[in-house]
Amino acid sequence: MIPMSLARIAEIVGGTLHDVPDPDAVVTGTVEFDSRQVTPGGLFLALPGARVDGHEHASSAVAAGAIAVLAARPVGVPAIVVTPLPPVETNAMALEHDTDGSGAAVLAALAKLATAVTTELTAAGLTVVGVTGSSGKTSTKDLLAAVLSPLGAVVAPPGSFNNELGHPWTALRADAGTDYLVLELSARGIGHVAALAESVPPRIGVVLNVGTAHLGEFGSQDAIAQAKGELVEALPPADRGGVAVLNADDRLVAAMATRTRARVVLVGQSGNADVRAVDVRLDDQARASFTLVTVDGSVDVRLAVHGEHQVGNALAAAAVALECGASLDQAAAALGQARAVSAKRMDVRTRADGVTVINDSYNANPDSMRAALKALVTMSRSGGGAPRRTWAVLGEMAELGPESVIEHDAIGRLLVRLDVTRLIVVGTGRPLRGMHQGAVMEGSWGEESMLVPDAEAALAVLRAEVSGDDIVLVKASQSVGLWTVADALLADQTETSEANQ
């Protein structure tokens, strides 16, 4: 972040200085919530955790070089102390163990600090880009960073840092040398996106889709659309540079055009899209090529990331790059060079024995599950010979509420229609039994679908039966931790190629 004195930070966040010998001491390093990541001159955030309270690590953070601690009580070392807040509805996993309001207070202070810093940087020329949607946020964030990098210095979050902790933490990575700040905005309820956008106001907002992720928490797709559309409502008007990039192929997203004062840019494969993909083709690794069409001309694009669903993500990234001054050729070249940066998202690797492992295990919802399965099948049918044998190792799609069994059943049936060879359902809950039964009922499968209790059991089956040039997709919601299966499969033999490189 930009250098700032402790006295100034205390003023911004409404805190008081405790045990601070020099109020004019300046924070010159990073803001961290993990004491092991503290850098000299940094600021440490004391947040409650599952096993320990960050306040207990204040001394070690200062010993590691932190100038001070942002805390909810005095900690015996230089600190800016804010008053605990009553419990509030939140999207931040950091508050799961906040029993006394200390975490809420520190996060509220962090948001105020991010607002102050980014307001100053925006006045000096920083462009803030926000992206939201039911799926694809992280992949699009990576593509946005890639297409904006040729235009200037970019700060973007690692992985899916997109809630009340990760959002301001990422924003405070920006400094006077940053030209573009790319932020993900997630939601578990109405008002969450609005709160994030208020803390760090974007000039350009991207809404990718309205799917069924978190359906159990929202109750309906209309409610999800209401929440995602809070991003475009937060944008400045068109005469102040506000731009809303909306998916023309998703009716609920396209309808958000009426909810914003910003200039609307539609992207997609629909004929009314301002930034459009035509002649979409997939290669043997399910990597898309297409012609990017705009009012200013067209250019061929060949993506290096996997899955046809990446076309929409790439169009959104291209639209933002063009709005920021990139030429069509620059945008196409950057998209062609972009790789999957965030871990466990369509990470395609091939072992020495020819077995390909698709690790898409970071998260899962019905839309992303369908996209991954289609990519798996596309890869299996490449080369003109007999299709390669395909394995889908799938865990639960979380947070789907009353529709969970129905959605899991539908994925099981889709597997059969796509002609996936084998299905291993990992877990024994009712939705997972529904996925297994859906596959069995749709295709009268016998041993083609099996239900196993855990990742260890799934791995045992794979090690015993996978061979040759089989392709294995591993996918589930993050809470399942199914990436252990993909990691173990790859560790069994040295990889000969990494399709993402």
Instruction: Give the integer Cα–Cα distance in Å for 359 and 375.
Output: 12
Q: Which of 134, 132, 115 is nearest to 199 (CA)?
A: 115
Q: Per-residue pLDDT averaged across 323-343, rounded?
A: 93
3-class SS letters over 305-319: EECCCHHHHHHHHHH
Tokens 């100053």 belong to 120
- Between helix 430-443 and helix 404-418 the angle, nearest 10°, is 30
What pLDDT is attached to residue 444?
58
pTM of the model: 0.88
- Out of 94-108, 129-143, 191-205, which region has the weakest mean confidence (pLDDT)? 94-108
What pLDDT is attached to residue 229?
97
What pLDDT is attached to residue 499?
46
Render pLDDT for 209-243 as a digit per residue (tens, 0 to 9). 998 766 667 778 899 999 999 999 999 999 999 99
What band does 89 get if pLDDT is binned at 50, 70 and 90?
Answer: low
**Residue 277 pLDDT greater than 70, yes or no:** yes
What pLDDT is attached to residue 101?
84
What residue type is assigned to position 147 of the chain? V
- Out of 46-50, 56-60, 416-420, which region has the weakest mean confidence (pLDDT)? 46-50
Q: Which of 87, 88, 104, 91 is nearest to 47 (CA)?
A: 104
DSSP string, 269-310: SSTT-SEEEEEEEE-TTSEEEEEEEETTEEEEEEEEEESTTH
What pLDDT is attached to residue 340?
78
Contacts of 240 (CB under 8 A, 6+ apart): none
What band does 493 get if pLDDT is binned at 50, 70 and 90?
Answer: confident
Q: Per-residue pLDDT averaged across 331-352, rounded?
A: 90
**Residue 112 pLDDT greater than 50, yes or no:** yes
How many residues appear in the chain?
501
Render pLDDT for 144-179 as a digit per residue (tens, 0 to 9). 999 999 999 999 998 778 899 999 999 999 999 999
Burial of 453 (0-12, 13-18, 19+ CB in 10 A): exposed
Instruction: Give the integer Cα–Cα distance in Å for 209 and 248.
Output: 9
What pLDDT is attached to residue 85?
84
Is residue 335 within 8 Å of 450, Cβ to Cβ? no
What pLDDT is attached to residue 187?
86
Render pLDDT for 12-29 as a digit per residue (tens, 0 to 9). 999 999 999 999 999 999
What pLDDT is attached to residue 216?
67
What pLDDT is attached to residue 91?
54
What pLDDT is attached to residue 498?
47
Instruction: Give the integer Cα–Cα distance in Å for 376 and 378.
Output: 6
Q: Which of 41, 70, 67 is nearest to 55 (CA)?
A: 70
Is residue 473 within 8 Å of 393, Cβ to Cβ? yes
What residue type is assigned to position 94 of the chain? A
**% of residues, the chain, pLDDT over 70:** 94
Render pLDDT for 378-415 as a digit per residue (tens, 0 to 9). 999 876 668 899 999 999 998 888 889 999 999 999 99
**Structural domains in the chain?**
4-102 (3.40.1390.10), 125-337 (3.40.1190.10), 347-498 (3.90.190.20)
What pLDDT is attached to residue 86?
74
Strand partners, 133: none
More confident residue, 384 or 104: 104
Is residue 433 within 8 Å of 362, Cβ to Cβ? no
Q: What is the mean pLDDT of the chain?
A: 92
Q: What are phi and psi of 286, to 5 degrees?
A: 60, 35
What residue type is assigned to position 88 of the chain? V
264 alpha carbon, distance to own chain's centre: 23
Q: What are phi and psi of 257, to 5 degrees?
A: -55, -30
Q: Which of 368, 357, 375 is nearest to 498 (CA)?
A: 357
